[in-house]
Amino acid sequence: MSQLNFRKATRKQAKLRLALVAPSGFGKTYSALRVATGLGGKVAILDTENGSADLYANDFEYDVLTMNAPFEPAKYVMAIKAAEDAGYDTIILDSISHAWAGTGGLLDKHGALSDKGGNSFTAWRKVTPDHNALVDAILQSKIHVIATMRSKVDYAMEGGKVVKLGLAPVQREGMEYEFTCVLDLDQKHNGHASKDRTGLFDNKVVPMTEGVGKELKAWLETETKETKEETK
């Protein structure tokens, strides 16, 4: 049996996985570009929003890859790989909601399979690998990934009554938990952390500026005292 070698954990080897969640018109694209600019380096954006990414060309330096329907997860995976190969430091996926609920996305594929075979459960078994491939591409990417997700009001039945739960991302349930940090944006373009492994933004109102990207970069590149001593 080959020897298994462990290494000292260090954030310097990590890349950012950030999700920005908000209804349409709340500034997800602009906020993502500000954060990416703060991270530094070359920025690419995958635009599924009918050319909306080009609206900010005078404010930021970045390149655009336009994606049209069908919004298949495999096309997102290809875009992430292409950004890595082209030497970008950050890719913005704007938005991954299309991979779920857009034309040709996972819900469309599930519906078509269900209609064809008449079995919704079996259809999910065929759709889930496509979703998992997208998640894996995001998590294993060699560059920073910022993903935007649209949100909608979510409801549930409690005690026989319909109760408003708040805003839920338009994506497969639990997708937001795959990210290092998830910021819900308000109408004033401030972020509110619904998940934050960094501890930087808990219980704070976060103005979405380049400063957010700089803070996240500093956190990612912070080495422990022990790691620094080992590399002397």
Q: Considering only CA atoms, which of 93, 100, 121 is closest in space to residue 16?
A: 93
- CATH entry, 13-230, from 3.30.1360.200, 3.40.50.300, 4.10.520.10, 3.30.1330.60: 3.40.50.300
Q: Each residue of 106-160: pLDDT tens digit? A: 989 989 888 887 778 888 888 999 999 999 999 999 999 999 999 876 656 667 7
If pLDDT is split at 50, 70 and 90, which confidence band does 12 have?
low
Helix, strand, coil % in the chain, rounded to nearest 5: 40, 25, 35
Which one-letter DSSP state was computed for residue 127? H
Q: What is the mean pLDDT of the chain?
A: 88
